[in-house]
Every structure is written in C-alpha cells, then in structure tokens.
C-alpha cells in the first residue's frame, strides 16, 4: 500500500478568529503573520483593562511584551503518584524557560489523568477512558478562554495522548505534543531477568495457579517472588515500556507529524528528553510563523501513517478507539474498515512487548522511531511527504537519522515478518454486527472455537480466576459483558484477567468482551464488541454453553445460535438498571457513543 496515492482530503475550514479586528496592522507585521492574533483580543488597546492588569500580575514584564508577545499555553497532564506523569511538570518548566528566552510569553497549566496501571482490575478503572474527554475539554477551555496563540501539551499515560490531540483539533491553534517518554526496564533478582509492569499481572496468574517459580527453584517462595516483582517492575518515571497504549499512541502521533522527531522513543529520564523540550520552543514559533495548525496536519494521509505504524509495530487495540475519536474530532473520515484495509497490507515486524521480547528503551538504542520510519518510508509503506510541526516534511525530519543497524533483531525485515499482515483484525458476525476489534499476532493461531462461559462483569471473571475455577483442557470462550462505554460505565480495561490467563498458561481459553483491553494484553482476545450488551447487542443474550467461533481469516465472530433464536432471546431480555446514577460516570454514560465510532462524547 502506498498512502501517497490516497485521495487527498479537502482541507477543513479555518475557525473564525476572534482577534483580527484588534490587530493594529491587520494580521501582518513587517510582512510576517502576526503571532499574537488571539491574545491581542485582550492585550491591544484598552478594551480589556482588567485582563491586562491581571496579566501584568501574572508575569508580563512590560508594555512591549503586553502588546506584541504571543501567548503560549503549556498544558501538562501532571500529577504525583503515577510514574507516567510524575515528571511532566518539570518538562513543562523546561519548555517554559525556553519560550521565555525566545521572547514569547508562556503560561503553564494542568489537566488531570488516571493511572491505568494503578486502577487496573478495580472500580477506579471505570474512570480512565472518560479522562480522555476531560483532558480535551480542559485544554480547549483554557486555550480558548485565555486567548492563547499556541499550545504545547505534555502527556504521559494512555488516554493523555488522544486527549491532547482532540483538544488541538478543537481549538486548531498552532500546537505541538511533547511525549513524556517511556520508563526504564525493571529487573527481578528472583526471576533473573528484565521485567515491567505487565510482568506483575502475568505473574499474578502464575501465583494464583501455583505455578510461579523463581530462577532458582526452591530458593524463593511465591510471596517473595511477587514482592520482588512489585518492588522492581517500575524503576522510575515514564510510561509503560512496551508497545502498550501509551507508546502506540505516541508513535502514531509522531508518524502524523504532530511531535518533534524521536519524541515517542526518547526515554522519560534521559537528557535527550530535556533537549526535546528546549527544541519545542523554537518549533512552536515556526508553527505560528508558518500558520501550521493541527487540522492541516490531521488528514487522511497522516491517519494512514498512524495505522501503518500501529500495524507494523503491533500496537494496542485501544488505538482503534483513540484514532477514531481523534479523526472524528478533526472531521477526518476514518472507519473500522480503514483499520482492516491497512492491516491486510502491512506486515507485523516488531518483536516488542507485550507479545515480544523488547521494550522501547531497546528501540531507542537502535535509532528510535525516526530509524523505523526511515525504513518504512524507503519501502513505500509510510508517506514521507506529509507536513509536520517542524515546517518540514516527515521525510526531511528523519533524513539525518541513521538507518536501522544490520545486526539488530527488534525490527524484523519486511520479507521475514512475524506475521505477513497486521495483528489488528476487525470482526463482524451475529455476535458483533457493528464490529469488534481482535488483537491476533498469529502466535495464538487464527481461528478458535470454544464453549462460552458468561460473566456479567469483569470482577466475576477475576473472582473465578483468583479461585482457580477456569479449567484447563476444553476450549473455552470467556465472555465478559456489560463493560462497554455505557454499560461499564467507562469501558474499563481488562488486563488483570487477560494477563492472569497468560501467566497461568491457560492457552485453551479465548477472551471476548464489549469492554476493552490494555495495550499490555495479549493472547486470543476480542474487545469492543458492538453493539454492547447494555444497549441490547447480541452479546447480551449469549448463554453459558453456547459455541462461539472466532475466525481471523474470515473476519468473523459468531455464536452457533440461529438468527431466530437470537431475536427470541432479545425479546425476552431486559436491560439492567444502571450501576451508576450520578456523578461524572453517569454523565459520561448518557453522552458517550459506541466503540465503533471511538466512544466519543461529542457526536451530534
């Protein structure tokens, strides 16, 4: 596939600027585009004297700066208590310092997030997906209310990246994303090997099924092994280190041109990440000078680039939700069929966790994302001609980076892939007439048939696993329902269950849900089943004992039940009472759309 031959999307209409009438020289100064065209609404003349008084108090140094300096908002998704985000305030300070050196005004502010790793498997996980909307709402609100001329956003954990890009698409002012970066690998003395957060969840499955053993059998008890893993899996700041959701989204967004080169693979605690922050100040000036706005970068061509990277590197199923929502916000036509179209043509070539051996720290050591993109551009799979926030094309950005080393083993040759096509399969059938998303690397096979065991909530399955009640031998399809966007509510990730199955080596089991999985999940898993159970989708009437077939070759997911029987069951079905009736989750459940359209809350 050559995305460069794709039909170019018609450029979206520019938003109505609020500030042109206040600019003393129109929109141009000295033959150049005025950089303070939004903030001048407040700072020109004396129309808003109170605003100017408060801006002087906040740090504007003098009248010249008040009248001419552009205002750059620096939005960090910072909070303490989560390694993905705990360092982002410091990155923001470095960006601010360099913006001030460049003669611009910089205003740091914050938005919220939820730690997926900490909330995984608990009720707190229901709040995770909706933070994507809160992040987008927050950045849009501050940017527009404060009349910022540009925005630099610093995300860390999973929902952060799509949240900031959705905000960029809404306010459509010159913007750059600086990814917080990945965590260092951990190391376990008891297992004598590198570990990461996914090890915790998979070891739990082995622990429950009494198969957890250290490197030196008998030297350590299972409790000592678990203690060691928990204490050393996350050795510092940064997002989860494999091709999990955070890194899936950061690489996709870099391939779309909305970050500086190598942002997605530069480690969180490296000096290079601080240097990236310094470079962001210069880049945001270029964006303002050249009027490079997000919706000029968020095109069908750039989304195709994101899909190519996602398939080649084995990205998270969550990226389907997030890319659909990003595209929907930007007005770009993107559907489930686009994911299947790209997956059918792009080989899976990266030996990265969770299904593979390596982490992003290893990828950085062999050249990082620019070297990977250089390889894919040379093969004609990635569109190097798209514009980017640097003012150059993607191909120009990566030209100076080295090619992948000949002896590296992380990225396989295209002619010798792990799987000849992508790992993401879009399934439809009588169980998911509006679509479902499967993550199938080929290591688990391409077809699975088994007897259904139905759980009405994730915690029911977690309890069965913790009590060792999922038997070996017979092929089983574990069905977890009422965990979709509305039914959850919040569509919680189910890494605890999927990882426990892998850790216990229950390879006779497939797992399907109207909820979703973590980027760290692997195995024979299908999520995002649509329509979800809470709105009367067919998954609501699956019964324990039904036979379910998942066929990735035919892109089908079906239960061995006739259409007439399904309709009869649906007529007898009664929707459950909402589990949450007030607060943010109740509001989210009322507003959210279905998974096949990105679980957006602003579809009107």
Q: Which residue has the tokens 């990082």?
A: 368
Using CB atoms within 10 Å of the CB of residue 1, give its burial: 0 to 12 exposed, 13 to 18 middle, 19+ buried.
middle
Using CB atoms within 10 Å of the CB of residue 584, give its burial: 0 to 12 exposed, 13 to 18 middle, 19+ buried.
middle
Q: Where are the beta strands (DSSP E) in 159-243?
A: 175-177, 186-188, 193-195
Residue pair 301/5 in contact (Cβ under 8 Å)? The answer is no
What whole-number distance in Å separates Cα of residue 97 and Cα of residue 150?
Answer: 16
Using CB atoms within 10 Å of the CB of residue 574, give its burial: 0 to 12 exposed, 13 to 18 middle, 19+ buried.
exposed
Cα-based distances in Å from 597 to 254, 337, 431, 564, 591: 23, 11, 18, 28, 13
Instruction: Enter the tokens of residue 322.
Output: 């997030």
Instruction: Enter the tokens of residue 551.
Output: 């066929």
Residue pair 339/549 in contact (Cβ under 8 Å)? The answer is no
Cis peptide bond upstream of 226, omega within 30: no
Residue 34 DSSP one-character state: -
Main-chain dihedrals φ then ψ at residue 384, nearest 5 degrees: -85, -5
CA dihedral 246, 249, 251, 256 (to 10 degrees): -160
What whole-number distance in Å separates Cα of residue 354 and Cα of residue 359?
Answer: 9
User: Which one of the listed residues 264, 343, 518, 521 is annotated catalytic?
Assistant: 518
Question: Other CB atoms closer than 10 Å to residue 26's CB: what's the count?
Answer: 10
- For residue 554, what are the contacts with CB-CB under 8 A and spacing of at least 6? none
CB burial string 182-204: b at 16+ within 10 A, e below: bbbbbebebbeebbbbbbbbbbb
Taking alpha carbons only, the member of 482, 453, 480 closest to residue 469 is 453
Residue pair 329/601 in contact (Cβ under 8 Å)? The answer is no
Instruction: Enter the tokens of residue 388.
Output: 């980017």
150-154 and 71-76 strand pairing: parallel
Q: Is 188 a catalytic residue?
A: no
Q: Where are the beta strands (DSSP E) in 165-252?
A: 175-177, 186-188, 193-195
Residue pair 299/574 in contact (Cβ under 8 Å)? The answer is no
Using CB atoms within 10 Å of the CB of residue 123, give its burial: 0 to 12 exposed, 13 to 18 middle, 19+ buried.
middle
Catalytic residues: 518
């Amino acid at each position: 596939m050559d995305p460069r031959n794709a039909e170019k999307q018609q450029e979206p209409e520019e938003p109505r600027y609020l500030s042109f009438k206040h600019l003393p020289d129109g929109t141009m100064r000295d033959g150049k585009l005025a950089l303070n065209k939004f903030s001048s609404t407040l700072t020109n003349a004396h129309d808003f004297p109170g605003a100017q008084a408060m801006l002087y108090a906040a740090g504007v140094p003098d009248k010249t700066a008040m009248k001419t300096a552009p205002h750059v908002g620096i939005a960090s998704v910072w909070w303490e208590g989560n390694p993905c985000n705990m360092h982002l305030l410091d990155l923001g300070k470095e960006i601010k310092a360099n913006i001030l050196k460049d003669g611009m005004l910089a205003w740091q502010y914050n938005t919220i997030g939820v730690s997926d790793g900490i909330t995984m498997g608990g009720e707190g996980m229901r709040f995770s997906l909706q933070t994507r909307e809160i992040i987008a709402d927050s950045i849009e609100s501050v940017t527009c209310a404060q009349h910022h001329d540009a925005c630099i956003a610093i995300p860390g954990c999973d929902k952060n990246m799509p949240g900031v890009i959705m905000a960029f698409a809404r306010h459509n002012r010159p913007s750059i994303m600086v990814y917080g970066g990945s965590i260092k690998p951990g190391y376990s003395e008891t297992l004598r090997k590198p570990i990461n957060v996914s090890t915790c969840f998979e070891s739990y499955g082995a622990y429950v099924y009494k198969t957890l053993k250290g490197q030196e059998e008998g030297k350590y008890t299972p409790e000592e092994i678990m203690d060691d893993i928990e204490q050393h899996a996350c050795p510092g700041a940064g997002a989860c280190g494999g091709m999990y959701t955070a890194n899936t989204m950061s690489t996709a967004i870099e391939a779309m041109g909305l970050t500086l080169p190598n942002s997605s693979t530069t480690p969180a605690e490296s000096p290079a990440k601080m240097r990236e922050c310094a470079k962001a100040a210069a880049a945001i000036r270029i964006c303002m000078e050249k009027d490079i706005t997000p919706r000029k970068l968020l095109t069908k061509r750039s989304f195709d680039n994101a899909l190519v990277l996602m398939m080649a590197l084995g990205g998270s199923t969550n990226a389907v939700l997030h890319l659909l929502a990003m595209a929907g916000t930007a007005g770009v036509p993107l559907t489930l069929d686009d994911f299947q179209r790209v997956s059918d043509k792009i080989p899976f070539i990266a030996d990265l966790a969770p299904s593979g051996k390596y982490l992003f720290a290893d990828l950085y050591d062999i050249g990082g994302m620019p070297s990977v993109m250089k390889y894919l551009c040379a093969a004609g799979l990635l569109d190097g001609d798209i514009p980017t926030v640097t003012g150059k094309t993607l191909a120009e950005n990566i030209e100076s980076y080295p090619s992948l080393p000949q002896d590296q083993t992380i990225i396989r040759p295209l002619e010798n892939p792990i799987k000849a096509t992508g790992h993401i399969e879009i399934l439809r059938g009588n169980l998911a007439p509006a679509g479902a998303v499967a993550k199938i690397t080929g290591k688990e096979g391409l077809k699975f048939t088994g007897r259904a065991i139905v759980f009405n909530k994730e915690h029911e399955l977690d309890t069965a696993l913790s009590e060792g009640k999922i038997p070996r031998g017979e092929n089983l399809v574990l069905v977890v329902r009422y965990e979709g966007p509305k039914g959850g509510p919040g569509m919680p990730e189910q890494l605890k269950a999927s990882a426990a199955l892998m850790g216990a080596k229950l390879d006779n089991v497939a797992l399907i849900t109207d909820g979703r999985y973590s980027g760290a999940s692997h195995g024979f898993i299908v999520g995002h089943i649509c329509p979800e159970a809470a709105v009367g989708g067919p998954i609501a009437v699956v019964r324990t004992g039904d036979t379910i077939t998942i066929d990735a070759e035919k892109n089908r997911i079906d239960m061995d039940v006739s259409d007439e029987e399904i309709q009869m069951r649906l007529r007898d079905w009664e929707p459950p009472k909402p589990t949450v009736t007030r607060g943010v989750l109740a509001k989210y459940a009322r507003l959210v759309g279905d998974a096949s359209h990105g679980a957006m809350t602003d579809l009107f």
